[in-house]
């Protein structure tokens, strides 16, 4: 340890507002510290430039994840563990989920934050290529107000960013429009986890009628900043994947990257591996779209595809509770496999109206109760699934159940409908925590959060339904 603790001052303020006010009073004097996994390494090496630290670790405003119809808004203080555990991140942003899963070890994932990874500005940072291909935007906050910028413009050079000395990253926003894309990511390092990458790739792609409609490729550790390969993307779009295109891809990649020799690797190695990774992505994209990676049709699904419409609607209705959703699903038949079924479900759910969402919400019992709010018209299968989903709540002690019942009432008074949460594998205490957090949501945010929870419930139920 080359630093002396008595040379440093550290404070933590109760709100984001008071924190940015402090930064505004003495810009550049106070260094924010979130999880501290980068700051403490600099401290231990005696290389920390600041003497005054302000902790942002416990600021609730930076720790939330909100899901709206069009985007997911991730608080900059969310840890890798928060990201790994979030259902929408896992389902719709697998590149970010994978990066969170291989950033350091478990202890590091419990402390390291996405905001810290962005501001630390390492060209080898694991989450940043994913942010580039998902076209992330950042909300920056200071005492002067908020500004929203494209993440692609944030890193201006090696370890340089657009962040002003009095600013914090508040939120990382990702648009929810990549569900239909094929995703591919690889980290090449001495090991997959607990090692800094020599080269890393995050890529998304779509092929229609044998032709690349849209590819997005970003790489880490091969330039002073994480790099989106725009020229390569442009050269690939509108073409079929064949030997000529793979050769062209290698050439454009080599022209775009700017790797260096360092203790981890060499220019030659990095250039060759980056070309290989892009070619591997294109080959897999081609295979996936050609259907080679599709699973075989399931028996339940094959039978459902052939049912008369009314019977088919009734068969899937317990999975969601909204008739408009069930009708939308039936209109999309035949569905080939689980992946198509889940995609159809997610898309149909997004298209139905909020009054259809309400119908689905009413088909559930309150958390901690057995009978659905809509009474006997909820299908028996739905009631049975609800009781399985709430198993951990049923086993909770009396105090937790009473607290839940009280919080349920408060929620209903505030939002005029029952509280919906995907309860599977959640304890009463966890659900209570979520409920109390969501009580602070605005009406619109909360409606979308409830709809997102219903989407997750529907997805789990469809998987169960497929098992017969």
Q: Which residues bind ligand FAD (CB under 6 A)?
A: 31-39, 41, 56, 62, 76, 103-104, 108, 111-113, 115-117, 119-120, 125-126, 168-169
Nearer to ligand FAD among residue 124 and residue 301 (C-beta): 124
Pair type for strands 168-175 and 211-220: unpaired
* Shortest Å distance, C-beta 135 to ligand FAD: 20
191 is written with which tokens? 């090991």
Nearer to ligand FAD among residue 98 and residue 117 (C-beta): 117
Nearer to ligand FAD among residue 39 and residue 324 (C-beta): 39
* Shortest Å distance, C-beta 259 to ligand FAD: 18
User: CB atoms < 10 A from the CB of 406, how many?
Assistant: 11
DSSP state of 376: G
- Contact predicate 220/199, CB 8 Å: yes
Name the β-bridge partners of 207. Answer: 212
Rounded distance, CA 164 to CA 140, Å? 9
* Shortest Å distance, C-beta 427 to ligand FAD: 27
Nearer to ligand FAD among residue 112 and residue 372 (C-beta): 112
* Shortest Å distance, C-beta 63 to ligand FAD: 10
Rounded distance, CA 204 to CA 134, Å? 8
* Shortest Å distance, C-beta 205 to ligand FAD: 24
* Shortest Å distance, C-beta 57 to ligand FAD: 8
Nearer to ligand FAD among residue 132 and residue 169 (C-beta): 169
User: CB atoms < 10 A from the CB of 61, how many?
Assistant: 17
394 is written with which tokens? 């049923």
- Contact predicate 204/174, CB 8 Å: no
Contacts of residue 312, Cβ cutoff 8 Å, sequence gap at least 6:
304, 329, 330, 333
Alpha carbon 295 to chain centroid distance?
A: 25
* Shortest Å distance, C-beta 227 to ligand FAD: 15
Beta strands in 192-257 (DSSP E): 197-208, 211-220, 227-228
433 is written with which tokens? 């925590």
Give the residue nearest to ligand FAD (CB): 116
* Shortest Å distance, C-beta 358 to ligand FAD: 36
Q: Is 349 exposed, middle or buried (0-12, 13-18, 19+ CB in 10 A)?
A: buried
Nearer to ligand FAD among residue 203 and residue 215 (C-beta): 203
Nearer to ligand FAD among residue 168 and residue 253 (C-beta): 168
Nearer to ligand FAD among residue 151 and residue 411 (C-beta): 151
């Amino acid at each position: 340890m080359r630093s002396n603790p008595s040379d440093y001052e550290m404070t933590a303020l109760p709100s984001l507002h008071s924190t940015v006010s402090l930064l505004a009073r003495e810009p550049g004097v106070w260094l924010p510290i979130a999880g501290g996994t980068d700051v403490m390494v600099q401290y231990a090496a005696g290389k920390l430039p600041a003497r005054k630290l302000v902790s942002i670790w416990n600021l609730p405003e930076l720790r939330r994840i909100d899901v709206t119809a069009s985007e997911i808004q991730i608080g900059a203080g969310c840890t890798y563990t928060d990201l790994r555990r979030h259902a929408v991140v896992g389902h719709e942003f697998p590149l970010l989920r994978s990066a969170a899963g291989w950033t350091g070890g478990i202890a590091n994932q419990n402390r390291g934050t996405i905001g810290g990874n962005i501001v630390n500005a390492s060209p080898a940072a694991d989450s940043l290529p994913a942010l580039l291909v998902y076209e992330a935007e950042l909300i920056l906050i200071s005492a002067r107000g908020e500004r929203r910028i494209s993440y692609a413009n944030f890193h201006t050079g090696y370890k340089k960013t657009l962040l002003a000395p009095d600013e914090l990253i508040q939120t990382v926003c990702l648009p929810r429009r990549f569900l239909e894309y094929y995703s591919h990511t690889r980290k090449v390092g001495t090991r997959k986890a607990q090692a800094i990458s020599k080269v890393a790739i995050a890529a998304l792609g779509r092929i229609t009628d044998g032709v690349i409609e849209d590819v997005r490729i970003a790489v880490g550790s091969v330039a002073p900043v994480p790099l989106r390969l725009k020229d390569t993307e442009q050269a690939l779009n509108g073409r079929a994947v064949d030997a000529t295109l793979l050769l062209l891809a290698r050439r454009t990649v080599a022209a775009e990257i700017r790797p260096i020799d360092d203790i981890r690797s060499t220019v030659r190695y990095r250039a060759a591996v980056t070309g290989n990774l892009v070619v591997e992505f294109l080959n897999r994209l081609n295979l996936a779209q050609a259907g080679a990676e599709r699973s075989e049709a399931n028996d339940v699904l094959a039978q459902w595809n052939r049912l008369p419409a009314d019977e088919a609607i009734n068969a899937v209705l317990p999975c969601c509770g909204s008739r408009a959703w069930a009708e939308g699903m039936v209109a999309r038949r035949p569905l080939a496999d689980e992946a198509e079924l889940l995609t159809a479900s997610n898309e149909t759910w997004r298209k139905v109206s909020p009054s259809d969402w309400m119908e689905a919400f009413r088909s559930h019992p309150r958390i901690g109760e057995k009978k659905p709010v809509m009474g006997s018209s909820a299908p028996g299968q739905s009631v049975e699934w609800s009781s399985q989903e709430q198993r951990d709540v049923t086993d909770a002690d009396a105090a937790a159940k009473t607290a839940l019942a009280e919080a349920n009432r408060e929620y209903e008074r505030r939002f005029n409908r029952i509280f919906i949460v995907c309860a599977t594998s959640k304890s009463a205490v966890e659900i209570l925590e979520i409920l109390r957090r969501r009580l602070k949501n605005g009406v619109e945010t909360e409606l979308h959060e409830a709809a997102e929870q219903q989407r997750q419930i529907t997805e789990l139920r469809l998987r169960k339904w497929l098992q017969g």
